Amino acid sequence: MRTNIVHPGADELTYEIREIVAVGEELQALGVPICWENVGDPVAKGQVVPEWIKEIVSDLTKNDNSSYGYSPTRGVRATREFIADARNAEGGEQITPDDILFFNGLGDAIQTSFLYLHPRARILGPNPAYPTHSSAEAAHADAPHITYNLIPENGWQPDLLDIRNKVHYNPGISGILIINPDNPTGTVYSEETLRGIVQIAREYDLFMMSDEIYSQIVYGGEMIPLSKVLDGVPGIAMKGLSKEVPWPGARCGWIEVYNKDKDPVFARYIKTLVDAKMLEVCSTTLPQKALPKILGDSRYPAHLASVAEGYRKKSEIFSEVFRGVDVVIANKPLGAFYAAVVFKDGVLRHDQTLPIADIRVRTRIESLVPGMPNDKRFVYYLMASTGITVVPLSGMNSHREGFRLTLLEPDVAKFRHILETIVQSIQAYTTS
């Protein structure tokens, strides 16, 4: 090329959750029966969307011609009114429909929110991180994502002192990101923790960002929304339909903006996001039309409760199967549908292996692992040896070695078998 056409932040765009799929598919072609435990798509893992929800969507496609049209830039007005009313009824910060902006999935909201931040403004995010946030933030700044530690020894609650120090010594930090309930750890932040983080944002004149896409999937502890703890601090909550309905293929997510009027620079930043969406015209109309009908239906709370109960049972099984495995820390998840397993320091080395019967598979894996982070090496051996595909925490900006699995497998006996196989593999690998 006559000039360099590559974005300076291009190398920061990595998504281990899907990158591992290419290797999995290669092994599959060699005959390894792959069990996908990497991607957080409940539909792909077999969760069936209730018939009454399908009827709502089908009725719209048949009888509401406007569901085929563009929607207003911010989103369908009646839907934003429905969301604002629901939020205001919860107490906490009050919003109007104009404080809501729809996106094509929360992934789009995340990309846009980071893309239009001032290039020198940084958002401090959790570690381990959800790669869509950490990659987009790093790419916008053309620098590695700055993170605060979640502490596995303390149920994955964030290290408030670390947050304070990072904010204090990095004057570029303009906002703090939390994911609540968290991906990848499954933790749900306590009110005390949330208030502690908001207090730091208040002291240093920052804004808060809270990814609440899993807010309706909680089965341990109480999920406190950002709107209830801000007390005047500017903030954005990010929500979506992908996980709770579940309807990830709808590509429908939105942001709720709190306390825009409290800071003119924050208000100007939010206007940029609306202007950017205006250039794009609008987001997907059909799921926005369906949203009040689904979330407002009298059957929805029971649907959410039964889905959460399924995850709660699997979180118990997870806890039971990992109990006594002393080389790892495996906190029982409280929300979302992930669990993160951390290897204790010094347990992993770069010469450990698992038996792989097929010589072609073994040769391929041995060609891939040199120079890899230790946890990714374990994940590759696990995949080649058992077919179980999980995500290494090193691919999620983690300072600790480990992996993330999902609680999505609908067949409980199979789920238990997967966990038992992982535990046997950990034991075999760490004693090899």
Ligand X SMILES: Cc1ncc(COP(=O)(O)O)c(C=O)c1O
By CB under 6 A, name the binding residues for ligand X: 40, 105-107, 130, 132, 179, 183, 211, 213, 240, 242, 248, 253
Cα angle at 234 between 233 and 235, to 5 degrees?
110
Of 106 and 379, which CB lies nearer to ligand X in the complex structure? Answer: 106
Shortest Å, Cβ 186 to ligand X: 11
Nearest residue (CB) to ligand X, 209 versus 321:
209
Least Å distance between CB 357 and ligand X? Answer: 34
Shortest Cβ 142–ligand X spacing (Å): 23
Residue 236 CB, shortest distance to ligand X, in Å, is 13
Using an 8 Å Cβ cutoff, are 292 and 391 in contact?
Answer: no
User: 140 or 364: whose CB is closer to ligand X?
Assistant: 140
Sorted by sequence, the CB contacts under 8 Å of residue 224 that are 6+ apart come out as 180, 189, 191, 194
Q: Which is nearer to ligand X, 213 or 340 (CB)?
A: 213
CB of 280 vs ligand X, minimal distance in Å: 15
Q: What share of the chain is helix, strand, coil (3-state, %, to 5)?
A: 45, 15, 40
Nearer Cβ to ligand X (214/378): 214
In the complex, least distance from residue 155 CB atom to ligand X, rounded to whole angstroms: 18
Shortest spacing between CB 326 and ligand X, in angstroms: 30
Query: If we measure between CA atoms, which residue out of 223, 245, 239, 242 comes closest to residue 295?
Result: 245
Nearer to ligand X, 105 or 128 (CB): 105
- Residue 287 C-beta: closest distance to ligand X, Å: 10
For residues 149 and 406, which CB has a smaller minimum distance to ligand X in the complex? 406
Non-local (6+) Cβ contacts of 109 within 8 A are 101, 103, 238, 240, 253, 254, 255
Cβ of residue 131: shortest distance to ligand X, in angstroms? 9
Cβ-based nearer residue to ligand X, 79 or 385: 79
